[in-house]
Structure 1
Protein backbone atom coordinates (compact mmCIF):
# COMPACT_ATOMS: atom_id res chain seq x y z
CA UNK A 1 0.00 0.00 0.00
CA UNK A 2 1.56 3.26 -1.16
CA UNK A 3 0.97 6.75 0.21
CA UNK A 4 -0.58 7.86 -3.11
CA UNK A 5 -3.43 5.37 -2.53
CA UNK A 6 -4.50 7.14 0.68
CA UNK A 7 -3.62 10.76 -0.11
CA UNK A 8 -6.21 13.38 0.89
CA UNK A 9 -6.51 16.47 -1.32
CA UNK A 10 -9.68 18.11 -0.02
CA UNK A 11 -7.93 19.78 2.93
CA UNK A 12 -6.08 22.74 1.43
CA UNK A 13 -2.74 23.89 2.89
CA UNK A 14 -2.19 27.21 4.60
CA UNK A 15 -0.45 30.05 2.77
CA UNK A 16 2.54 31.81 4.35
CA UNK A 17 0.56 35.02 4.73
CA UNK A 18 -2.48 33.42 6.37
CA UNK A 19 -3.08 34.71 9.88
CA UNK A 20 -3.10 32.82 13.13
CA UNK A 21 -6.85 33.35 13.35
CA UNK A 22 -7.35 31.89 9.86
CA UNK A 23 -5.15 28.91 10.67
CA UNK A 24 -6.94 28.10 13.93
CA UNK A 25 -10.26 28.25 12.10
CA UNK A 26 -8.99 25.79 9.49
CA UNK A 27 -7.70 23.40 12.14
CA UNK A 28 -11.08 23.46 13.83
CA UNK A 29 -12.90 23.01 10.52
CA UNK A 30 -10.88 19.93 9.54
CA UNK A 31 -10.59 18.43 13.05
CA UNK A 32 -6.79 18.19 12.98
CA UNK A 33 -3.93 19.62 15.05
CA UNK A 34 -1.43 20.21 12.22
CA UNK A 35 -1.63 21.73 8.74
CA UNK A 36 1.01 22.20 6.02
CA UNK A 37 2.12 25.68 4.95
CA UNK A 38 3.12 26.40 1.33
CA UNK A 39 4.60 29.37 -0.50
CA UNK A 40 3.31 31.08 -3.66
CA UNK A 41 4.63 28.21 -5.82
CA UNK A 42 2.98 25.50 -3.71
CA UNK A 43 6.32 24.42 -2.25
CA UNK A 44 6.03 23.08 1.29
CA UNK A 45 7.77 25.39 3.75
CA UNK A 46 6.59 23.90 7.03
CA UNK A 47 3.94 22.32 9.19
CA UNK A 48 2.14 24.46 11.73
CA UNK A 49 0.68 23.05 14.94
CA UNK A 50 -2.17 24.17 17.13
CA UNK A 51 0.27 24.63 20.02
CA UNK A 52 2.44 27.01 17.94
CA UNK A 53 -0.59 29.05 16.93
CA UNK A 54 -1.80 29.36 20.52
CA UNK A 55 1.58 30.82 21.51
CA UNK A 56 1.50 33.50 18.79
CA UNK A 57 1.68 37.20 19.66
CA UNK A 58 -1.80 37.84 18.30
CA UNK A 59 -4.55 36.62 15.94
CA UNK A 60 -3.34 38.77 13.03
CA UNK A 61 0.24 37.44 13.04
CA UNK A 62 1.19 35.58 9.82
CA UNK A 63 1.88 31.86 10.21
CA UNK A 64 5.18 32.19 8.33
CA UNK A 65 6.78 33.77 11.39
CA UNK A 66 5.89 30.74 13.52
CA UNK A 67 7.61 28.11 11.38
CA UNK A 68 10.65 26.85 13.25
CA UNK A 69 11.62 23.41 12.03
CA UNK A 70 12.49 22.00 8.64
CA UNK A 71 9.31 20.78 6.89
CA UNK A 72 8.44 17.12 7.37
CA UNK A 73 6.89 15.25 4.45
CA UNK A 74 6.65 11.87 2.72
CA UNK A 75 6.82 11.06 -1.02
CA UNK A 76 3.77 9.60 -2.80
CA UNK A 77 5.56 6.33 -3.57
CA UNK A 78 6.48 5.64 0.05
CA UNK A 79 4.77 2.75 1.82
CA UNK A 80 1.97 3.60 4.22
CA UNK A 81 4.11 2.13 7.04
CA UNK A 82 6.79 4.78 6.35
CA UNK A 83 4.16 7.51 6.56
CA UNK A 84 2.91 6.12 9.87
CA UNK A 85 6.45 6.03 11.26
CA UNK A 86 7.04 9.65 10.21
CA UNK A 87 3.78 10.69 11.84
CA UNK A 88 4.67 8.94 15.11
CA UNK A 89 8.28 10.20 15.17
CA UNK A 90 7.18 13.82 14.79
CA UNK A 91 3.93 13.53 16.80
CA UNK A 92 1.78 14.71 13.89
CA UNK A 93 -1.94 14.39 13.25
CA UNK A 94 -1.33 14.93 9.51
CA UNK A 95 1.74 14.51 7.33
CA UNK A 96 2.21 16.37 4.00
CA UNK A 97 2.92 14.54 0.76
CA UNK A 98 5.36 16.21 -1.64
CA UNK A 99 7.08 15.45 -4.93
CA UNK A 100 10.86 15.42 -5.43
CA UNK A 101 10.92 19.22 -5.85
CA UNK A 102 9.03 19.75 -2.60
CA UNK A 103 5.73 20.72 -4.23
CA UNK A 104 2.72 19.98 -2.07
CA UNK A 105 0.48 17.17 -3.40
CA UNK A 106 -1.85 16.54 -0.46
CA UNK A 107 -1.71 15.10 3.01
CA UNK A 108 -2.34 12.00 5.04
CA UNK A 109 -4.50 12.24 8.14
CA UNK A 110 -4.09 9.93 11.09
CA UNK A 111 -7.49 8.31 10.55
CA UNK A 112 -6.70 7.77 6.84
CA UNK A 113 -3.72 5.67 7.88
CA UNK A 114 -5.80 3.87 10.50
CA UNK A 115 -8.40 3.00 7.85
CA UNK A 116 -5.70 1.55 5.60
CA UNK A 117 -4.24 -0.50 8.46
CA UNK A 118 -7.72 -1.82 9.29
CA UNK A 119 -8.13 -3.05 5.70
CA UNK A 120 -4.66 -4.60 5.67
CA UNK A 121 -5.43 -6.43 8.90
CA UNK A 122 -8.77 -7.72 7.59
CA UNK A 123 -10.62 -5.96 10.40
CA UNK A 124 -13.93 -6.01 8.52
CA UNK A 125 -13.84 -9.74 7.77
CA UNK A 126 -15.61 -12.24 9.98
CA UNK A 127 -13.40 -14.40 12.17
CA UNK A 128 -11.59 -14.69 15.48
CA UNK A 129 -8.48 -12.87 16.67
CA UNK A 130 -5.76 -14.68 18.60
CA UNK A 131 -2.97 -13.01 20.57
CA UNK A 132 0.12 -15.20 21.01
CA UNK A 133 3.50 -15.13 22.68
CA UNK A 134 6.45 -17.25 21.60
CA UNK A 135 10.15 -17.50 22.36
CA UNK A 136 12.18 -15.82 19.57
CA UNK A 137 14.19 -18.97 18.84
CA UNK A 138 10.96 -20.92 18.16
CA UNK A 139 9.33 -18.39 15.85
CA UNK A 140 9.11 -18.58 12.09
CA UNK A 141 6.13 -17.15 10.21
CA UNK A 142 6.06 -20.02 7.72
CA UNK A 143 5.85 -22.60 10.51
CA UNK A 144 3.11 -20.66 12.31
CA UNK A 145 0.92 -20.39 9.22
CA UNK A 146 1.57 -24.04 8.33
CA UNK A 147 0.44 -25.21 11.78
CA UNK A 148 -2.78 -23.19 11.53
CA UNK A 149 -3.65 -24.18 7.98
CA UNK A 150 -3.01 -27.84 8.71
CA UNK A 151 -5.82 -27.60 11.25
CA UNK A 152 -8.63 -26.23 9.14
CA UNK A 153 -8.15 -22.48 9.41
CA UNK A 154 -6.71 -19.71 7.24
CA UNK A 155 -4.69 -16.69 8.35
CA UNK A 156 -6.33 -13.50 7.04
CA UNK A 157 -3.78 -11.15 8.62
CA UNK A 158 -0.81 -11.25 10.96
CA UNK A 159 0.98 -8.57 12.97
CA UNK A 160 3.89 -8.75 15.41
CA UNK A 161 5.19 -6.38 18.08
CA UNK A 162 8.86 -5.48 18.32
CA UNK A 163 10.77 -6.88 21.27
CA UNK A 164 11.99 -4.43 23.91
CA UNK A 165 15.00 -6.69 24.60
CA UNK A 166 16.52 -9.70 22.86
CA UNK A 167 15.16 -12.02 25.56
CA UNK A 168 11.54 -10.83 25.39
CA UNK A 169 8.95 -13.10 23.86
CA UNK A 170 7.57 -12.13 20.45
CA UNK A 171 3.93 -11.02 20.55
CA UNK A 172 1.84 -11.98 17.54
CA UNK A 173 -1.74 -11.09 16.63
CA UNK A 174 -3.60 -13.26 14.12
CA UNK A 175 -6.90 -12.75 12.32
CA UNK A 176 -8.37 -16.10 11.28
CA UNK A 177 -11.23 -16.93 8.93
CA UNK A 178 -13.07 -18.96 11.57
CA UNK A 179 -14.72 -18.27 14.91
CA UNK A 180 -14.19 -21.78 16.26
CA UNK A 181 -10.51 -21.80 17.23
CA UNK A 182 -10.53 -24.50 19.90
CA UNK A 183 -8.50 -26.98 17.82
CA UNK A 184 -6.12 -24.32 16.52
CA UNK A 185 -5.47 -23.00 20.03
CA UNK A 186 -4.75 -26.50 21.34
CA UNK A 187 -2.28 -27.24 18.53
CA UNK A 188 -0.56 -23.85 18.87
CA UNK A 189 -0.01 -24.44 22.58
CA UNK A 190 1.44 -27.85 21.73
CA UNK A 191 3.95 -26.18 19.38
CA UNK A 192 5.12 -23.71 22.00
CA UNK A 193 2.86 -20.77 21.21
CA UNK A 194 1.19 -19.35 24.31
CA UNK A 195 -2.30 -18.05 23.48
CA UNK A 196 -2.68 -15.07 25.81
CA UNK A 197 -6.07 -13.86 24.53
CA UNK A 198 -8.79 -14.58 21.98
CA UNK A 199 -11.53 -12.31 20.65
CA UNK A 200 -14.66 -12.77 18.59
CA UNK A 201 -14.71 -16.54 18.68
CA UNK A 202 -17.62 -18.87 19.28
CA UNK A 203 -17.77 -21.02 22.36
CA UNK A 204 -17.90 -24.34 20.50
CA UNK A 205 -18.74 -26.28 23.67
CA UNK A 206 -21.70 -23.98 24.38
CA UNK A 207 -22.90 -24.28 20.79
CA UNK A 208 -22.70 -28.06 21.05
CA UNK A 209 -24.76 -28.05 24.26
CA UNK A 210 -27.41 -25.82 22.70
CA UNK A 211 -27.65 -28.16 19.71
CA UNK A 212 -28.05 -31.15 22.00
CA UNK A 213 -30.77 -29.40 24.02
CA UNK A 214 -32.69 -28.42 20.87
CA UNK A 215 -32.46 -32.00 19.65
CA UNK A 216 -33.84 -33.19 23.03
CA UNK A 217 -36.82 -30.79 22.72
CA UNK A 218 -37.59 -32.06 19.23
CA UNK A 219 -37.63 -35.66 20.53
Structure 2
Protein backbone atom coordinates (compact mmCIF):
# COMPACT_ATOMS: atom_id res chain seq x y z
CA UNK A 1 0.00 0.00 0.00
CA UNK A 2 1.38 3.35 -1.11
CA UNK A 3 0.05 6.85 -0.56
CA UNK A 4 -0.66 7.07 -4.29
CA UNK A 5 -3.30 4.35 -3.79
CA UNK A 6 -5.30 6.60 -1.44
CA UNK A 7 -7.94 8.97 -2.91
CA UNK A 8 -6.45 12.48 -2.97
CA UNK A 9 -8.29 15.79 -2.96
CA UNK A 10 -7.80 17.59 -6.26
CA UNK A 11 -8.08 21.25 -7.28
CA UNK A 12 -6.81 22.35 -3.89
CA UNK A 13 -3.87 24.44 -5.07
CA UNK A 14 -3.27 28.16 -5.39
CA UNK A 15 -0.91 30.14 -7.62
CA UNK A 16 1.37 32.99 -6.68
CA UNK A 17 -0.79 35.31 -8.80
CA UNK A 18 -3.92 34.52 -6.75
CA UNK A 19 -5.00 37.02 -4.12
CA UNK A 20 -4.80 36.41 -0.40
CA UNK A 21 -8.59 36.77 -0.20
CA UNK A 22 -8.99 34.00 -2.78
CA UNK A 23 -6.63 31.74 -0.82
CA UNK A 24 -8.57 32.34 2.41
CA UNK A 25 -11.80 31.42 0.64
CA UNK A 26 -10.17 28.23 -0.63
CA UNK A 27 -9.01 27.33 2.86
CA UNK A 28 -12.51 27.81 4.19
CA UNK A 29 -13.99 25.73 1.38
CA UNK A 30 -11.63 22.81 1.99
CA UNK A 31 -11.28 23.26 5.76
CA UNK A 32 -7.48 23.06 5.43
CA UNK A 33 -4.93 24.97 7.50
CA UNK A 34 -2.41 25.07 4.67
CA UNK A 35 -2.59 25.24 0.90
CA UNK A 36 0.02 24.11 -1.64
CA UNK A 37 1.34 26.75 -4.03
CA UNK A 38 2.11 25.51 -7.52
CA UNK A 39 3.36 26.72 -10.87
CA UNK A 40 1.57 24.44 -13.31
CA UNK A 41 2.09 21.12 -11.60
CA UNK A 42 5.44 22.11 -10.04
CA UNK A 43 5.23 22.29 -6.25
CA UNK A 44 6.72 25.55 -4.93
CA UNK A 45 5.86 25.37 -1.24
CA UNK A 46 2.88 26.09 0.95
CA UNK A 47 1.04 28.90 2.69
CA UNK A 48 -0.29 28.57 6.22
CA UNK A 49 -3.53 30.04 7.48
CA UNK A 50 -1.77 32.43 9.86
CA UNK A 51 0.36 33.76 7.00
CA UNK A 52 -2.79 34.78 5.18
CA UNK A 53 -4.60 36.17 8.20
CA UNK A 54 -1.59 38.32 9.15
CA UNK A 55 -1.38 39.92 5.72
CA UNK A 56 -2.02 43.68 5.70
CA UNK A 57 -4.15 43.65 2.56
CA UNK A 58 -6.09 40.61 1.40
CA UNK A 59 -6.13 41.94 -2.16
CA UNK A 60 -2.40 41.49 -2.48
CA UNK A 61 -1.13 38.47 -4.37
CA UNK A 62 0.29 35.34 -2.79
CA UNK A 63 3.64 36.36 -4.30
CA UNK A 64 3.92 39.03 -1.55
CA UNK A 65 4.01 36.34 1.15
CA UNK A 66 7.10 34.29 1.87
CA UNK A 67 6.41 30.67 0.94
CA UNK A 68 7.25 27.94 3.41
CA UNK A 69 9.42 25.25 1.85
CA UNK A 70 10.00 22.92 4.81
CA UNK A 71 9.56 19.25 3.80
CA UNK A 72 6.00 19.05 5.11
CA UNK A 73 4.78 16.77 2.36
CA UNK A 74 4.83 13.11 1.45
CA UNK A 75 5.85 11.35 -1.71
CA UNK A 76 3.35 9.22 -3.62
CA UNK A 77 5.55 6.13 -3.14
CA UNK A 78 5.74 6.44 0.65
CA UNK A 79 3.78 4.34 3.14
CA UNK A 80 0.65 5.79 4.83
CA UNK A 81 2.42 5.47 8.19
CA UNK A 82 4.83 8.20 7.06
CA UNK A 83 1.85 10.50 6.54
CA UNK A 84 0.58 9.75 10.06
CA UNK A 85 3.95 10.70 11.51
CA UNK A 86 3.98 14.07 9.73
CA UNK A 87 0.35 14.90 10.43
CA UNK A 88 0.83 14.10 14.11
CA UNK A 89 4.11 15.99 14.43
CA UNK A 90 2.77 19.17 12.80
CA UNK A 91 -0.90 18.90 13.84
CA UNK A 92 -2.08 18.90 10.22
CA UNK A 93 -5.42 17.95 8.70
CA UNK A 94 -4.01 17.52 5.18
CA UNK A 95 -0.66 16.96 3.46
CA UNK A 96 0.57 17.76 -0.06
CA UNK A 97 1.50 14.63 -2.03
CA UNK A 98 4.29 14.84 -4.62
CA UNK A 99 5.66 12.40 -7.15
CA UNK A 100 9.34 11.49 -7.55
CA UNK A 101 9.86 14.66 -9.64
CA UNK A 102 8.23 16.95 -7.06
CA UNK A 103 5.14 17.34 -9.20
CA UNK A 104 2.00 17.99 -7.17
CA UNK A 105 -0.40 15.01 -7.13
CA UNK A 106 -3.08 16.14 -4.67
CA UNK A 107 -3.84 16.63 -0.99
CA UNK A 108 -4.06 13.71 1.40
CA UNK A 109 -6.70 14.42 4.05
CA UNK A 110 -6.73 13.00 7.56
CA UNK A 111 -10.14 11.41 6.88
CA UNK A 112 -8.90 9.43 3.88
CA UNK A 113 -5.80 8.46 5.82
CA UNK A 114 -7.86 7.13 8.73
CA UNK A 115 -10.01 5.11 6.30
CA UNK A 116 -6.87 3.60 4.78
CA UNK A 117 -5.30 2.73 8.14
CA UNK A 118 -8.54 1.12 9.31
CA UNK A 119 -8.34 -1.23 6.32
CA UNK A 120 -4.61 -1.90 6.74
CA UNK A 121 -5.05 -2.80 10.39
CA UNK A 122 -8.30 -4.76 9.96
CA UNK A 123 -10.08 -2.33 12.25
CA UNK A 124 -13.35 -2.80 10.38
CA UNK A 125 -13.32 -6.58 10.73
CA UNK A 126 -15.42 -8.39 13.31
CA UNK A 127 -13.33 -9.81 16.13
CA UNK A 128 -12.04 -9.11 19.60
CA UNK A 129 -9.28 -6.96 21.03
CA UNK A 130 -7.03 -8.12 23.86
CA UNK A 131 -4.57 -5.94 25.75
CA UNK A 132 -1.70 -7.72 27.48
CA UNK A 133 1.06 -6.39 29.69
CA UNK A 134 4.36 -8.18 29.21
CA UNK A 135 7.87 -7.51 30.48
CA UNK A 136 10.03 -5.93 27.80
CA UNK A 137 12.48 -8.84 27.85
CA UNK A 138 9.71 -11.46 27.94
CA UNK A 139 7.91 -10.34 24.81
CA UNK A 140 7.79 -12.95 22.06
CA UNK A 141 5.28 -12.46 19.29
CA UNK A 142 5.88 -16.00 18.03
CA UNK A 143 4.85 -17.46 21.42
CA UNK A 144 1.75 -15.29 21.57
CA UNK A 145 0.84 -16.20 18.00
CA UNK A 146 1.30 -19.91 18.74
CA UNK A 147 -1.02 -19.68 21.76
CA UNK A 148 -3.66 -17.79 19.75
CA UNK A 149 -3.49 -20.23 16.84
CA UNK A 150 -3.82 -23.14 19.25
CA UNK A 151 -7.25 -21.72 20.11
CA UNK A 152 -8.19 -21.69 16.40
CA UNK A 153 -7.89 -17.92 16.19
CA UNK A 154 -5.87 -15.71 13.89
CA UNK A 155 -4.15 -12.41 14.61
CA UNK A 156 -5.62 -9.62 12.48
CA UNK A 157 -3.50 -6.87 13.99
CA UNK A 158 -0.87 -6.40 16.66
CA UNK A 159 0.63 -3.25 18.15
CA UNK A 160 2.88 -2.49 21.10
CA UNK A 161 3.24 0.45 23.44
CA UNK A 162 6.18 0.87 25.80
CA UNK A 163 5.46 1.38 29.52
CA UNK A 164 8.84 2.74 30.74
CA UNK A 165 7.86 3.09 34.40
CA UNK A 166 7.74 -0.69 34.89
CA UNK A 167 9.90 -1.80 31.94
CA UNK A 168 7.02 -3.51 30.18
CA UNK A 169 5.02 -3.43 26.98
CA UNK A 170 1.32 -3.17 26.39
CA UNK A 171 0.54 -5.53 23.54
CA UNK A 172 -2.74 -4.82 21.75
CA UNK A 173 -3.93 -7.75 19.67
CA UNK A 174 -6.98 -8.07 17.46
CA UNK A 175 -8.13 -11.59 16.64
CA UNK A 176 -10.71 -12.83 14.17
CA UNK A 177 -13.12 -14.28 16.74
CA UNK A 178 -15.48 -12.49 19.10
CA UNK A 179 -15.97 -15.30 21.61
CA UNK A 180 -12.54 -15.38 23.23
CA UNK A 181 -13.29 -16.84 26.66
CA UNK A 182 -11.13 -19.92 26.01
CA UNK A 183 -8.33 -17.75 24.63
CA UNK A 184 -8.38 -15.55 27.72
CA UNK A 185 -8.20 -18.69 29.86
CA UNK A 186 -5.16 -19.86 27.86
CA UNK A 187 -3.42 -16.54 28.45
CA UNK A 188 -4.13 -16.86 32.18
CA UNK A 189 -2.73 -20.41 32.28
CA UNK A 190 0.45 -19.17 30.60
CA UNK A 191 0.75 -16.34 33.18
CA UNK A 192 0.08 -13.54 30.71
CA UNK A 193 -1.39 -10.46 32.34
CA UNK A 194 -4.59 -9.48 30.50
CA UNK A 195 -5.26 -5.80 31.11
CA UNK A 196 -8.59 -5.72 29.30
CA UNK A 197 -10.46 -7.10 26.32
CA UNK A 198 -13.11 -5.81 23.93
CA UNK A 199 -15.66 -7.67 21.87
CA UNK A 200 -16.11 -5.72 18.62
CA UNK A 201 -19.11 -7.86 17.62
CA UNK A 202 -20.94 -6.50 20.65
CA UNK A 203 -20.09 -2.97 19.51
CA UNK A 204 -21.65 -3.67 16.09
CA UNK A 205 -24.71 -5.18 17.78
CA UNK A 206 -25.07 -2.09 19.97
CA UNK A 207 -24.82 0.12 16.91
CA UNK A 208 -27.53 -1.89 15.16
CA UNK A 209 -29.76 -1.67 18.23
CA UNK A 210 -29.35 2.11 18.35
CA UNK A 211 -30.16 2.33 14.64
CA UNK A 212 -33.35 0.30 15.13
CA UNK A 213 -34.35 2.47 18.08
CA UNK A 214 -33.84 5.56 15.94
CA UNK A 215 -35.96 4.11 13.13
CA UNK A 216 -38.71 3.21 15.60
CA UNK A 217 -38.62 6.73 17.00
CA UNK A 218 -38.83 8.29 13.51
CA UNK A 219 -41.81 6.09 12.63
CA UNK A 220 -43.79 7.09 15.73
> What's the TM-score, normalizing by structure 1?
0.81
Cross-structure match for 1:171:
170
Deviations 1:180-216 (A, max 9, x none): 111211222333432212122689xxxxxxxxxxxxx
SS, match of residue 179 in structure 1: coil
SS, match of residue 115 in structure 1: helix
Matches within 5 A, 1:195-206: 195-200=194-199
Contact kept? 2:9, 2:109, Cα under 8 Å: no
Cross-structure match for 1:148:
148
Contact kept? 2:126, 2:200, Cα under 8 Å: no
Q: CA deviation at 1:130?
A: 1.5
Q: CA deviation at 1:79?
A: 0.9
Deviations 1:139-174 (A, max 9, x none): 12222111111112221122222x264953212222
Cross-structure match for 1:55:
54
Matches within 5 A, 1:77-92: 77-92=77-92
Residue ranges of structure 2 left out of the alignment (5+ in a row): 203-220
Deviations 1:84-125 (A, max 9, x none): 212222332211111233211112111111111111121221
Q: Distance in 2 between matches of 1:90 and 1:109?
A: 14
1:180 and 2:184 correspond? no
Report the CA distance shift for 1:11/1:148 in structure 2 as closer, same or farther (over 3 A): farther
Matches within 5 A, 1:94-113: 94-113=94-113
Residue ranges of structure 1 left out of the alignment (5+ in a row): 204-219
SS, match of residue 24 in structure 2: helix
Cross-structure match for 1:15:
15
Q: CA deviation at 1:14?
A: 1.4
1:67 and 2:67 correspond? yes
SS, match of residue 185 in structure 2: helix
Over the aligned positions, Cα root-mean-square deviation in angstroms equals 2.2
Q: Distance in 1 between matches of 2:72 and 2:49?
A: 16
Q: Distance in 2 between matches of 1:192 and 1:47?
A: 53
Contact kept? 2:36, 2:46, Cα under 8 Å: yes
> What's the TM-score, normalizing by structure 2?
0.81
Contact kept? 1:45, 1:71, Cα under 8 Å: no
Contact kept? 1:75, 1:99, Cα under 8 Å: yes
SS, match of residue 14 in structure 1: coil
Contact kept? 1:20, 1:53, Cα under 8 Å: yes
